[in-house]
Amino acid sequence: MYGWIWRHLPGNVWVRTLISIVLIVGVVFLLFQYVFPWAEPLLPFNDVTVDGAAPAGHAAATALKGNVA
Amino acid sequence: MSDGKRESTAETVDPGETAEAVTEDSPARDSAAGGPAPEDSARKDSPPEDSAPEDPSSPEDASSHKAAEKEVEKGTQEAAGEAGRSKPVRRGRLAAVIGVVGELLITAGLVLALFVVYSLWWTNVLADRQAAKQGDRVREHWAAGRGPGDLDTRDGIGFLHVPAMSGDDILVKKGTDPKELNQGIAGYYTEPVKSGLPQDQSGNFSLAAHRDGHGAKFHNIDKIDKGDAIVFETKNTWFVYKVFKILPQTSKYNVDVIDPVPKGSGKKERGRYITLTTCTPVYTSKYRYIVWGELVRTQDVDEDRTPPAELR
């Protein structure tokens, strides 16, 4: 896969290295800017409140309160 | 063409390497064209024969392919550059698929590592930057005498100081949605139980903040002991609370901990309480960590905003 990309980049070794670095930086930027912020709420690492459910489920949480009490 | 193919297939020692046989075309063509080819192909065929006894049981093994290739390369180096060029194609299709799968797995590992970097470092950078900007704005408002009296809910209502937990002052804003908390602040609950405010005659001022990432303002909540001070700073007043109870682990469904008279705190009567909530254990959101405090006194803010004794 990476070999294929490398072979299809234009230019000599230095140009290819430069393009590769630009591509890598671009991918990391996309991940940090869009993909990770999107994925984070879906993962169970950063849920700090006692509302009993994901932010989408406040109604359920309020209902649950009665059950727990 | 087909002649060459059949010939080379017959010559190839490993029976499973039909894919390799295809690549034998070019040397075969060479032999048809004459030149040094007969000698070349003879030399070329001998290494696989040599290597065959080493691993006759695993014809599909990529490493044995590679070893064979290397020997082939060594043997033909002087004679045929062309054979060297067609070398990558000689790897079987299976080996190619395994190679791509391996690269994808490595990529997945790198992406996961980057996600850890993102959650534990980058979100802190962003949130601290945002919180500092908002905090400065709140202090500017206070200095300029703007804002509705003691309260300015737009940018934040004040700052939380917990010397036992962190040296920072933590900006407090309304709401505990991720959108708010991700700004590196502590939020006071609006639901499922509406928080009281410090200046209320009675109520529970209930706060949430991140344990990790996004500023990680409550990261060291486990450093708070019974009797430690929690100070909330507003425009005109210092509210000094004292921790009276800690609940190191509870379910996230236990919303009663932020009731006006928090259940589990041991208090039975209404009073002026403060509740800090965050997730525990660190780096996960399995349970909630609760710290309860009770107002012991208030102190007016003087001209220099001299902090109360508890913060000095």
Q: Which helix (H) or strand (E) holds B230?
A: strand B229-233
Q: What percent of chain B has pLDDT over 70?
A: 68
- Domains along chain B with CATH numbers: 2-91 (no CATH), 130-311 (2.40.260.10)
- The per-residue pLDDT for B146 is 56
- The per-residue pLDDT for B32 is 41
Q: Which of B119, B258, B285 sits opposite A48 (nearest CB)?
A: B285
Domain ranges of chain A: 2-68
The two three-digit tokens of residue B200, written as one number? 């209320």
Q: Which of A1, A45, A65 sits opposite B285 (nearest CB)?
A: A45
Known catalytic residues of B are 279
Alpha helices in B12-122 (DSSP H): 18-23, 25-33, 37-51, 62-76, 81-85, 87-90, 93-117
Question: Kind of pairing, strands B158-161 and B169-174?
Answer: antiparallel
Q: What is the pLDDT of residues B275-295, one digit of tens each?
A: 999 998 888 888 999 999 999
With an 8 Å Cβ cutoff, are B254 and A50 in contact? yes
DSSP B255: G
Question: Under 8 Å CB-to-CB from A44, ≥6 apart: which residues?
Answer: B284, B285, B286
Q: What are the helix and strand counts (H, E) for chain A?
A: 4, 0
Q: What is the pLDDT of residues B69-81, one digit of tens each?
A: 444 444 444 444 4
B51 has a pLDDT exceeding 90? no
- The per-residue pLDDT for B285 is 85
The residue with greater pLDDT, B263 or B151, is B263
A67 has a pLDDT exceeding 80? no
With an 8 Å Cβ cutoff, are A2 and B191 in contact? no
Least confident of B20-24, B232-236, B238-242, B252-256: B20-24
| Predicted structure pTM score | 0.68
Phi-psi region of B46 (alpha: psi -120 to 50; beta: other; left: phi over 0): alpha
- The per-residue pLDDT for B46 is 44
What sign for the dihedral angle of Cα B59, B62, B63, B69?
A: positive
State the count of interchain CB pairs (< 8 A) between A and B.
101
Asked if A49 contacts B176 with a C-beta cutoff of 8 angstroms, the reply is yes
Question: Kind of pairing, strands B229-233 and B158-161?
Answer: antiparallel
Q: Which of B114, B211, B285 sits opposite A28 (nearest CB)?
A: B114
Question: In Å, how far is B201's CA from the nearest CA of chain A?
Answer: 24
